[in-house]
Structure 1
């Protein structure tokens, strides 16, 4: 059964996110006040469980005869300063390696197990930025070669509902790959500010350079890798589902 305070909990998460990531005119994403607000947001997020959002373990759902997407998204709320929603992954699904240019992020597993690999772009910021980028010119008439970027593979670990939230910032762990392990999984996701291509916050996808893999143990990290910018994989897409939980007004 859902807990009695479920509505107040997810509502408090949204309000704390708004306070934490308010625009520069009302605060800034640095300094002790931001750190205090971010810590409080992480504490609240760590309390959220699947039943608080009226979720039960399963994969993405679709109508009869429809092709099941590997991932679906439940929109909860969005403002100019942050977005919040739930990603649902079917068993074995992967959200490919991607970046979050100039963005903060918090990810809390609601059910299942996720393996998350986190990377830093060399020079800081998203990999699509100028730090560590190397572009190879193509001969006239040939197909353009993919852009390459140096990055550090910082961590690759398992997350469950018992784990603390996974956090990214504009300069640390800004790129990550998310795999569902051993069955379906879901996580609550906060991004601040939201993706917005018109303001330079577009999502870019990457793959590891030739001969490189994510098979690294903790003793071998961090390690430098080369990332190739790539189009979105044809076998990955994200469907949409209604959010079944308590209404949220950030």
Structure 2
């Protein structure tokens, strides 16, 4: 058997190479561990509370614009509010077009046709609510006493039919059936999101309106001041009567000489099938410590 002699210098060089390789491997593992730790820390530190900049700006402006019962925002303030609302998107209040509710063939929508609502914010001077209407759902004719209301259709297609009370002078020109009030048609057409914000005032702009969902819809309402039964701002519902059903004359909803269409309104109790369901608001929250 032959034994080869080992060169001590060569052995030292080999040991150094192995040592260097080990050091390189250790450094790579150490860097990898650091990168993993950074990723975990970012995920842990994600903010739990979401704040929508657009929604926050809307709330801040509402606090400036709405002065309480008996007041109406100035034309310039109305323009400022409409400007923000016109550019609002579903994501600003935590909604997505991909939600099952807004799918045309959604089983959930077909099974439940009740209108639901979520309150985003409410105070003495104003409130923000989102209304969810399944396809074919209706919010019947109702009024907004002493209120200015901004309605922004966020998703879907909706038919809006709105009226204002006719002037006293107009009412005197017609025989008013008992307990009925004369109203003049303001709007009767379909709106499809995205579209401009509609505004109604205490005595004009279509203060009495009806919503009919053509497709599943979400509409954001800003009401100033909000409904309050204690303050005399309770919601009243109406049934529209055709003149022809009350006498032998032709239907009263025909176009009159002044170019407007009219109808007789009768106060009714809220239809049982139209009762709404309140649900929690789960979208971006309001941070009252921030002001934009």
Q: TM-score, normalised by structure 1?
A: 0.77
Counterpart of 1:128? Answer: none
Q: Check whether the contact 1:153–1:221 (CA below 8 A) recurs between aligned residues.
A: no
Q: Check whether the contact 1:14–1:249 (CA below 8 A) recurs between aligned residues.
A: no
Structure number with greater Rg is: 2
CA shift in 2, pair 1:80/1:221, >3 Å: farther
Q: Check whether the contact 2:113–2:136 (CA below 8 A) recurs between aligned residues.
A: no
Q: TM-score, normalised by structure 2?
A: 0.66
Q: Check whether the contact 2:58–2:84 (CA below 8 A) recurs between aligned residues.
A: yes
User: What are the ranges of 5 or more consecutive residues in structure 2 without an aligned counterpart?
Assistant: 1-49, 103-107, 169-173, 246-250
Distance in 2 between residues matched to 1:76 and 1:221, nearest whole Å: 40
Q: Check whether the contact 1:69–1:237 (CA below 8 A) recurs between aligned residues.
A: no
Q: Which has the higher helix share?
A: 2
Distance in 1 between residues matched to 2:55 and 2:138, nearest whole Å: 26
Residue by residue over 1:91-110, the C-alpha shift from the partner in whole angstroms, topping out at 9 and shown as x without a partner, is 11010000001100010011
1:202 to 234, 238, 245: 234
SS at structure 2 position matched to 1:235: helix
1:235 aligns with 2:273: yes
Counterpart of 1:89? Answer: 133
1:11 aligns with 2:44: no
Q: Check whether the contact 1:114–1:178 (CA below 8 A) recurs between aligned residues.
A: yes
Shift in Å at residue 78 of structure 1?
0.6
Shift in Å at residue 224 of structure 1?
1.4
User: What are the ranges of 5 or more consecutive residues in structure 1 without an aligned counterpart?
Assistant: 125-131, 137-146
Residue by residue over 1:117-141, the C-alpha shift from the partner in whole angstroms, topping out at 9 and shown as x without a partner, is 11001238xxxxxxx9x683xxxxx
Shift in Å at residue 15 of structure 1?
1.3
Q: Which structure exhibits the higher relative contact order, with contacts defined as CA atoms closer than 8 Å and separated by 6 or more residues?
A: 1
CA shift in 2, pair 1:150/1:75, >3 Å: same
1:246 aligns with 2:279: no
Distance in 1 between residues matched to 2:164 and 2:141, nearest whole Å: 12
Distance in 2 between residues matched to 1:191 and 1:119, nearest whole Å: 18
CA shift in 2, pair 1:24/1:53, >3 Å: closer
Counterpart of 1:174? Answer: 207
Which stretch of structure 1 is more off in the superposition, 227-236 or 94-103? 227-236
| Runs of 4+ in structure 1 over 3 Å off | 57-60, 210-213
Q: Check whether the contact 1:105–1:168 (CA below 8 A) recurs between aligned residues.
A: yes
Q: Check whether the contact 2:155–2:194 (CA below 8 A) recurs between aligned residues.
A: no
CA shift in 2, pair 1:199/1:114, >3 Å: same
Distance in 2 between residues matched to 1:71 and 1:119, nearest whole Å: 22
Q: Check whether the contact 1:154–1:221 (CA below 8 A) recurs between aligned residues.
A: no
Counterpart of 1:123? Answer: 167
Q: Check whether the contact 1:69–1:238 (CA below 8 A) recurs between aligned residues.
A: no
Distance in 1 between residues matched to 2:188 and 2:201, nearest whole Å: 17
Q: Which has the higher strand share?
A: 1
Distance in 1 between residues matched to 2:254 and 2:125, nearest whole Å: 35
1:22 to 63, 67, 92: 67
Q: Check whether the contact 2:51–2:287 (CA below 8 A) recurs between aligned residues.
A: no
- Count residues with an aligned counterpart: 215
* RMSD, aligned α-carbons: 3.0
Residue by residue over 1:140-185, the C-alpha shift from the partner in whole angstroms, topping out at 9 and shown as x without a partner, is xxxxxxx31100011112222221111110011110000101x200
